[in-house]
Structure formats: C-alpha cells, structure tokens
Structure 1
Amino acid sequence: MNQSEEEHDIPDRETCQKLTEQFAEITGTDEACAQFYLQDRDWDLERSVNAFFEVSQTGGVSILHDGDAAGIAINVDKKLVKVLNKVQPTTEPPPRFSFVTWNLDGLDDHNLKKRTKAAHIGPLKLQLLNTHLESTVDHAAERVKQLKECFKVTSEAPEDTTVIFAGDLNLRDKELEQLGGPPPGVEDLWKTCGSRKECQYTWDMLRNSNKEFPGRFKPRSRFDRIYLRHSHPQRVVPVHFGLLGIEKVSGTQTFPSDHWGLRVFFNIRKL
C-alpha cells in the first residue's frame, strides 16, 4: 500500500472529533483516553468501546441505553466491597506514567508556575529537556546547530538517568541526516512505538484548520518529536505513542493549537 492509500484510511478531522466525543460520552472517560483506544483500532468506535470495557470488567461495568442516550452502570456487589475493604494505602510508586509535549499557548511568565510541575516517581530518575528550535527553512543552519547541542546534552546526562528530549523542533528529515541521525542510544519514540501513519504529522494542514495556506496544496510535517535516551540499567519501556488536541475547543471552530500534541505512555521496570 502506498502512502496516499494509507493516509486515505485515516478519517478527516471532523470524523475524528465526532468519534472521540462519542467514545468519551459512552465510556464516561475523557478525550485523551478516547484517542488512546481509537488510534490503536483504526478509529473503529465499536472495537474501541468493546476493548475499553473488556479491560474494565473487574468492576462489573455495563452499557445501559435509555432511548438514544448511552450511560454507564457500575455494579458494586458484596464481593467487590470485600475486596475494596482489603485495600491499604501505599507509598509504592506507580508502574507507569505518561509524558506530553505540545506547542500550546500559555507558557508565558504569568502561567508558567500554574502549568509546570515536577514529579518524583519512586527511585526513577528523569531528566526532561524541552525546547522550541528555530522556525522556517531560512533558519535551517541555526536549527541544525541547536539540535546538535540538544543531542549533546541528552547524551551526556548521567548514566543512571532516563532522558526525554522533546518539543517543537521544526525539524526536516534532511536536516537530521546532516547530523547522521540521532546519536547512538537515542531513540525517536514515534519510530520505536511503530511509526503509525495517523500519528506521523504534528503540523498537518490537511486535518488542522487553524492556519490558512493558499492554493490546493496542504503541507504536512513532523515538526514535533520526542527522543528518549535510556538509563543504564534501562528503567522505562515506551508502550504507546499518540496525538492530543485533534478535537476542536468546545463551542468554537478552532483547535487548541495549529500543532497536535504528543503523548507517550511508559511502563516502569522494577529493578
């Protein structure tokens, strides 16, 4: 199958938004969860909903229909109550976490404290490198120079630390080739997680209407990327790479940004 045939199978942005909203309404979850299930099942709503409830069966979850409205019923029986009564508070760190990078307005001085948090995940040491490299073709040389410096910082982090380097890199593949690709031991997580076509383009004027471009040609680029350098021994396993922000802001005809956000789920290995 060629590239145009593969992209043809991806729903348009209106369909993606509708499916996301329907999944969230039926399952009682949020749109991030909806995208997680739908993107992995070719945007098939029925398969995605079924998969969600198969995972959730422990709590006795059922779909109820009242006319055209779908709802959720959670059946709590004596057996479940007995199990819950045995649950004890724990300081055990979570077995998994997610990471988000998104070129989104709001990271000015007035919002930085509100929107920025540091997290400690048990003994797991994380170093997060966020950047926004120079834009446009005219600044390619400076962008390559900046990327080289970012890769240097990523590679030189302490051996016992997991490094995640991400952001709006404005990167073209030919510019990455000038450096010979990522350094040894540094992974492109879109590729690591399967190179799914529906997650390839993060600045996509075919699906995102926030920016106008004259003519029939609609540019699509993988400007936003996430790179990972493992610690030694390896502590995290990337298990899913998906997009955020593919639904329009409620009550408007615009998306949160002209860039899609990226979200990666990781499992944490116990030593």
Structure 2
Amino acid sequence: MFNTVMSGNHNDQQMSALEETRTSLCDQFASISGSDSAVAQCYLAENEWDMERALNSFFEAHMDSVFDVEDAKETKDVSGNKRKGVNSSDTAEASGTKKKFKTDQMDCIDLTAEEPTCSSSVNPQESQAKSVVTESNAEDSKLSIISWNVDGLDTLSLAERARGLCSYLALYTPDVVFLQELIPSYIQYLKKHAVSYLFVEGNDDGYFTGIMLKKSRVKLLESEIICYPTTQMLRNLLVAQVTFSGQKLYLMTSHLESCKNQSEERMKQLRVAFQTMKEAPEDATVIFAGDTNLRDTEVVKVGGLPPGVCDVWEQLGKQEHCRYTWDTKANSNKTVPYISRCRFDRIFIRSAKTGSRVTPDHMVLVGMEKLDCGRYTSDHWGIYCTFKT
C-alpha cells in the first residue's frame, strides 16, 4: 500500500512538472507568434512539443500571403500611383537636422540610386561652395547605421509598415541596417524595393535577423551564423565581415531571447555575443546592434561589458530622448494593460586596437511618426546612429 501511494505521488509530480513545462512553452509560443494559448497548444501538440518545428509550421501556414494583396495592388496600379508612407507633415531628425517628406515624395520610394560623389574641382574663389563640399565630405566619411526590430510577426498593416521602413531608409540612407524579427515575405518586399542594398540573412524561414549593406559604401567579405545551443526561440548571432572606407568592420546582430522568465538563456546568449566581439581581429572594429531584450541587471550579472567594449548610448552621454526603444506609453501598436518603458535595443562597439579608430558620434530614435494606416512602423522604435571614422 505504501509503495502504491508513493508511486502515485511520484506520477502526480511528474504530471505537474510536465503541465508546467508545456504551459511555459505555450506562453513562449504565443509571445513569439502573436497568437493565443489555444493556437499555441494546437501547433505545439501537433509537433510533439518541439518549439522550433511548431513555430516553423505556424509561420508557413500564416505568413506566406502577407504581401499578396500589396503585390496585387501594385500590379493593378499601372499609373504608378502608390499609397503614402509617413505622413507628409511628419519630420525626422538626422544628425541634428530636421528633414521633412512631402506627400508626393513619399508616394514613390526610390532606394535604387547610388550616392552621388562630391566634386573635387571646386573654384577656390567660391568659398561658400567649398565650405559646403568640405562639410559634405566630412559627412560622407561617417558610418551611419539603423538598428530596428521591425515586428514582422505582427501581420496587421504589415505591408504598409514595411513601406514605412523603406521610407525611413530613403530618408536616412544608412550605410548598414540591422533588422530583427524579419519573416520571408518581409525580406522579399525589402529586396524588391531596396535594390541598392545587399542582404545578409540569419535564416530563410520562420523569423530571423538580417543585415543590409549599402552596395556603394560597404563591401561584404564573408558572413557566418553562430548558433545559440539552448535557444527555444530560434535565435542566433549573425556576423558579417565587411570593409568601409578601407577599414575592416565586424558587424553583428541578434535578437536575444524574449520574455522576463528567459533571463538565464538571454545572459548565455549575451556571453556568446561578447565573446565573439572579444575574439575579433585587433585590426577590426566590431559593432553589435540588435534587440537584446536586456535588463541592466543582466549586464551586471554577466560581469559587465568586456574590456574595450562600450555601450554607445552610454558613451554618448545617456541622452534621455533616446533611452527607451520599447515604450508602450508612447507606442500604441501593442495593446497591453500596462506601461512598459525599456532599453531593449542596444548598440555595442569595440574599436580596433590598431589603425584609425571608429567612435560614436550621434544617436536618435526613428519611427516615432504614425503612418497613414494609423500605426507605427514597429512596436519598437528604431535607432539611427553615426560613427566618426
């Protein structure tokens, strides 16, 4: 009788642990896919509770036709008239200068043109023109980047939001773009509209990260994907080795594990990213930009920033206006019953130990204007940042 009772208690404990594990998996699935627990349970059960298989199955079923309507409208609209992106009254700040799009400019987003080169044959007597050219050359020598979690998993107004992203790329013309939460249909849309960029992708199914390189300014040498062995959310580290103005750069992006209860896994992934930064050649500058989901206490727990690595936001004086990249108080894309303001999206840099140094110059948040559809480009603000080279 005693053995029977003990066996029963053991089975109850096993069942309770299994139920707790599966409830946690459902919560994670729902958070990643933007679905609910019922949908999560269905896909997980059908895929033997394997998170990766379940998510891939979900994405294949739901994401393939996201841009079908958009493509059909563009094909039908033979006159060339396209819907607007950012409102014509909206402004954005780049390197301390206010820029504004007119409606007719926004209707046709052209990212195909190469950057014009500055003329070197300036008349010495035209001092004002010479000053303008000198200033332009100084700006051209700077490296500019955008890092943005574009929330491709949210399919509501996704085509319009992707068009909004292209609007910001046309406005800021960054040399490098680090993107997180891409899906296949989203990346195909970008490839169609941003042909002046070379794309490096962290995967080709499910959802993933990507790096866009302006062909006229950045040369790709090679790239690699570093896996996170224990991720439950299909996360990895994407690394691209490039040259810019004769300098060697290691560009890295990642979308570290989401949710508060995934702190331990997130810190494991952060250690991998920091170790990769440390191991890069001494003659290369390393820039990591992405959605880290980090809390400041987690950076402390992993031992802080490695020697030589700095947090760009901190390096630039911890400016309050670009602190919170996830801000449910200001961003209404996600309907949540609470206010959450976090610095999830971060940029780290490790300057080269030899040769010329790359140093942070300016940072501002982008995507803070509503699109014509009434939503923002993403539930995250993007980060625009420039570096002196």
Query: TM-score normalized by structure 2?
Result: 0.46
Asked if residue 176 in structure 1 is aligned to residue 294 in structure 2, the reply is no
Pairwise CA distance, 1:80: 5.6
Is there any run of 5+ residues in structure 1 with no aligned partner, and where? Answer: 1-16, 25-30, 39-78
Kept in 2, the 8 Å contact 1:93–1:122? The answer is no
TM-superposed deviation, 1:83: 6.0
Q: In the alignment, is residue 218 of structure 1 matched against residue 339 of structure 2?
A: yes
| Superposed displacement of residue 213, structure 1 | 1.7
Q: Is 1:192 matched up with 2:307?
A: no
1:109 aligns with 2:184: yes
Tell me the residue number matched to 1:209: 332
* 1:12-27 to 2 correspondences below 5 Å: 21=89, 24=91
1:243 is aligned to 2:359: no
Once residues 139 and 261 of structure 2 are traced to their aligned partners in structure 1, the CA distance between those partners, rounded to angstroms, is 46
Q: What is the CA–CA distance in structure 1 between the aligned matches of 2:326 and 2:142, rounded to whole Å? A: 28
Give, as a single letter, the amino acid of the residue that structure 2 aligns with 1:226: I
Aligned length: 195
Higher relative contact order (CA 8 A, sep 6+): 1
Structure 1 residue 174: deviation in Å? Answer: 1.0
Quote the Cα distance in structure 1 between the aligned partners of 2:357 and 2:139: 13
1:32, distance to aligned residue in structure 2 (A): 4.6
Give every structure 1 segment of 4 or more consecutive aligned residues whose post-TM-superposition deviation is greater than 4 Å: 79-84
8 Å CA contact 2:351–2:359 kept in 1: the answer is no
Hey, what's the Cα distance between the residues in 1 that align with 2:362 and 2:328? 24
Contact 2:141 2:245 in 1 (8 A): no
Give me the identity figure in percent: 39
- Residue 240 of structure 2 is aligned to residue 165 of structure 1: no
Structure 1 residue 142 corresponds to structure 2 residue 188:
no
Kindly indicate whether residue 153 of structure 2 is the aligned counterpart of residue 99 of structure 1: no
From the superposition, tell whether residues 36 and 245 of structure 1 become closer, same or farther in structure 2 (CA, over 3 Å). Answer: farther
What TM-score, normalized to structure 1?
Answer: 0.64
SS at match of 2:184: coil
199 and 80 in structure 1: CA distance in 2 versus 1, 3 angstrom threshold: same
1:173 to 1:93, Cα distance in 2 relative to 1, 3 A:
closer
- In the TM superposition, residue 109 of structure 1 has moved relative to its aligned partner by 3.3
Give SS of 1:134's match. Answer: coil
The aligned residue for residue 385 of structure 2 is 264
Which of 230, 236, 239 in structure 1 is aligned with 2:351? 230
Question: Is residue 237–residue 266 contact of structure 1 (8 Å, CA) maintained in 2?
Answer: yes
Q: CA offset at residue 94 of structure 1? A: 3.7
CA contact (8 A) 1:125 1:161 kept: yes
Distance 1:151 1:187 in 2: 11
Q: Report if aligned partners of 2:253, 2:288 keep a CA contact under 8 Å in 1.
A: yes
Counterpart amino acid of residue 178 in structure 1: K
What SS class does the counterpart of residue 335 from structure 2 fall into? coil
Post-superposition offset of 1:193: 0.9
- For residue 93 of structure 1, report the CA deviation from its aligned partner: 11
Q: Does the 8 A contact of 1:124 with 1:235 survive in 2?
A: no
Q: Structure 1 residue 198: deviation in Å?
A: 1.1
User: How does 1:61-100 map onto structure 2 within 5 Å?
Assistant: 94-100=140-146
Question: Structure 2: how far apart are the matches of 1:193 and 1:182?
Answer: 16
Tell me which amino acid in the other structure corresponds to 1:108.
I
Letter in 1 for 2:290: G
Question: Does the C-alpha gap of structure 1 residues 124 and 212 become closer, same or farther in structure 2, counting only changes over 3 Å?
Answer: same
Contact kept, 8 Å, 1:193 with 1:239, in 2: the verdict is: yes
Once the two structures are TM-superposed, the CA of residue 170 in structure 1 deviates from its matched residue by 0.5
RMSD: 3.0
- 2:274 counterpart of 1:151: yes
- Cα distance in 2 between the residues matched to 1:203 and 1:227: 18
| Residues 1:222 and 1:93: Cα distance change in structure 2 (over 3 Å) | closer
Distance (whole Å) between structure 2 residues aligned to residue 197 and residue 127 of structure 1: 28
Equivalent position to 2:254, from 115, 126, 131:
131
Report the AA paired with residue 206 of structure 1.
K
Gap runs ≥5 in structure 2:
1-85, 99-124, 153-161, 163-181, 200-211, 220-243
| C-alpha distance 82-150 of structure 1, shift in aligned 2 (>3 A) | closer
Q: 1:170 to 1:83 in 2, by over 3 A?
A: closer
